[in-house]
A and B are shown apart, each in its own frame.
Chain A
């Protein structure tokens, strides 16, 4: 399975959830397969999906699922100690780890070599870290939702991409409809 196969299996588990999605193809795939106003597509600033997700989880009560990639976590590795030391039990960080920078042409990342992001997350102090295989991602995410505990999931999958259209929504539109969902769910 490649990342887009995983995202396809996640759509029912993500329904009506507050989702903060990583830059590039992950957002484009999520937008194509399961657009909803409670998705925040991060169109720039590689690496910050987990930070945006944590900031959101710490400041309101509804659950937040951040979908990130191995390359993006590596570019903002400082996010993991911040997450570990500011526990938000309404926060789930799902790292789809295909061992490559998918959106830029599948260049290898160190996560696909010697570096284990699950081990890094644990070493940073994250209490609940689960590594799973691609086909188990949806069930693992559902279990994390049911647990009510802050969870870091590292879903291992193959490298590769499918053709997807770019997202043509304006930034403020993405933000506005997302914030309306945050307000509605917290009301």
Chain B
């Protein structure tokens, strides 16, 4: 089974019923999988901070939310992560395509890649890095941990995890 299918399966298994996405090439199959699955309400966002607002509403509406986005979005959402998600103690798994790591072919992606982990660390966000396809085995536990702690969580999925470009 592809890692994309395994991500969607894990979301469903953990009763993640509301997913918002902003596309990245690597995430295409996950986004399609969320759109197609009857147990997931998929609401695409135009920008990641908007998506985090949707997720906050969905959480208060009684559904487990998740956002799927590219790591460049960490630059967009610093204020939202601290002033919304963290200030109100809300859980938010972020499944993030980690562009700009080894194997990357677009040089500019490395610019935000080098800032991604420092920004997450500065924000005190629990962060996991999936480098091997097998790392997917931790996703169930990470999702569970995220809702239990009511905190945002970053799952960085790099090029190697996706099997290269």
A contact set with B: CB distance below 8 Å: 20, 40, 42-45, 47-60, 64, 76, 78-79, 81-82, 86, 171-172, 174-175, 178-179, 182-183, 186
Contacts and interface: CB of A to CB of B under 8 A. Distances in A.
B55 interface: yes
A179 B61 CA distance: 7
B79 A45 contact: yes
Contact of A20 (B43, B57, B62, B65): B57
A58 B50 contact: no
Nearest to A77: B46
B60 interface: yes
A44 B87 contact: yes
A145 B80 CA distance: 30
Q: Which range holds the interface residue count of chain B?
A: 20 to 34
29 contacts: A44-B82, A45-B53, A45-B84, A47-B50, A47-B53, A48-B53, A48-B84, A51-B53, A54-B54, A55-B43, A55-B54, A55-B61, A55-B65, A57-B61, A58-B18, A58-B57, A58-B58, A64-B57, A78-B50, A79-B53, A86-B43, A171-B87, A171-B88, A172-B89, A175-B89, A175-B90, A178-B60, A182-B61, A183-B62
Given A59-B63, A78-B45, A182-B60, 12 more contacts: A43-B87, A47-B49, A48-B52, A48-B56, A51-B53, A51-B54, A54-B54, A56-B57, A59-B62, A79-B46, A82-B45, A172-B89
Given A54-B54, A171-B89, A174-B88, A45 B61 contact: no
B44 interface: yes
Contacts of A52: 53-54, 56-57, 60
Contacts, number: 118
B43 A53 contact: no
A57 B84 contact: no
B41 A182 contact: no
B61 A60 contact: yes
Contacts of A20: 57
A59 B45 contact: no
A178 B88 CA distance: 11
Interface of B: 17-18, 41, 43-47, 49-63, 65, 79-80, 82-84, 87-90
Contacts of A60: 61-63
B57 A44 contact: no
A128 B53 CA distance: 23
A53 B64 CA distance: 16
B88 A59 contact: no
B58 A56 contact: yes
A47 B158 CA distance: 31
A79 B65 CA distance: 18
Nearest to B47: A78
Contacts of A64: 57
Contacts of A59: 17-18, 41, 57-58, 61-63
Contacts of B82: 44
A186 B62 CA distance: 10
A171 to B, nearest CB: 4
A48 B56 CA distance: 10
A32 B99 CA distance: 47
